[in-house]
Structure 1
Amino acid sequence: MRMLKNIDKLQQIAPLNILTFVHILRCLYQVVISYFGMSLDPEYETYIKKFKDVYMDLGISITPKVHILTENVLDFSKEYGNSLSWYSEQALESSHHDFLRNCWEKQSYKRLLGRPDYAQNLKAAVIA
């Protein structure tokens, strides 16, 4: 995302022979901001189709992720009417990471599995 957010800077320093790739990244960024957030941009289909056209013009192989993005995502959104963020595991993973770092380990609840106080400490950490 850092690179996509700075695509204008990348375009300024990119050699002419890779500007096509900078353009595809710009198209990908449009897809990301229109489709991967909490709200669905009304133009997301246009952005996905444009990304697909530009990608196909590169003449490189289609990766599984590009295939899913250009072929399956539109059907999914039409069926469910939401952006992908509604189905993401990112929030759950973030809370799990936060629990491990800021509670389980930092507040000294962590115990080795099998120790007599493991269950008691896990419960206390979850409550905390």
Structure 2
Amino acid sequence: MALQFPDSCRYADSHEYARPDGELLRIGVSAFAVDQLGDIVFVELPEVGSQLERGSSFGSVESVKAVEEMYAPISGTVELRNEAVLASPEELQNDPYGEGWLLAVRPSDAAEFNDLMDAATYRLKVEGS
């Protein structure tokens, strides 16, 4: 399966993405990271109203291989969390950029979004070409 790198997303070194959604940013885990994890069995997310700080852990993804921390690509307030992924972690695996989003965050500093890698830069990083 070819990995996707949607141009609408910006990416962090730690493989999380942020995508504009109105005044909010949708946060998720890139298809590359999901592919590396393998079968996902559990997702832990912060509560609505939680404050995220860019670069700090906001939850974890557990697969049959390992438990990986997720790191906030931007700072802000959690406005929504995807309860469907908590109930069915395979959603993250099946559609990381669509139904498998994790959080919707109101950014506290919109400029942080521009500090993230664009799709072409992220693709080069993970594919090493």
TM-score, normalised to structure 2's length?
0.23
Greater radius of gyration (CA) = 1
TM-score, normalised to structure 1's length?
0.23
Higher relative contact order (CA 8 A, sep 6+): 2
- Between Structure 1 and Structure 2, the one with more helix by share is 1
- Between Structure 1 and Structure 2, the one with more strand by share is 2
